[in-house]
Amino acid sequence: MAQLVERSDVTSDRPSARNMLGIVYILQSIKNATFYIGSTNNLNRRILEHQNGYDKYTKNILPIKLVFFQKFPTIKKARQIEFRLKKFKRRDIIERIVKEKEIKLKL
């Protein structure tokens, strides 16, 4: 099951949604080892949504575990990184990110 992380690590007190801290995260299915890539401004909430079956894709691969997350200055930047990662569609790239604990893409 995906673990929750400290709230101070995954949220921001910034008032503007556009300037809000963004987080790219990678979940892995315990059932079949597939990866799910997502982005959010509140990782704890999003993990709970996945665990409770509110996401169409991850409800079919439960249980899941959080294997990686990285913070970005804005949610817009996080969404751009998420989109680029999803376009790769290569397991070895995702496995390398998880192993190295860093996304090294530049936009």
How does pLDDT run across 21-44, given as a tens digit for each residue? 999 999 999 999 999 999 999 999
Which fold is adopted by the domain 7-100? GIY-YIG endonuclease (3.40.1440)
Question: In this structure, what are the phi and psi dihedrals at residue 100, rounded to the nearest 5 degrees?
Answer: -80, -15
pLDDT at 47 over 50: yes
pLDDT of residue 88: 86
pLDDT at 8 over 60: no
CA 80 to chain centre: 12
Which pTM does this prediction carry?
0.82
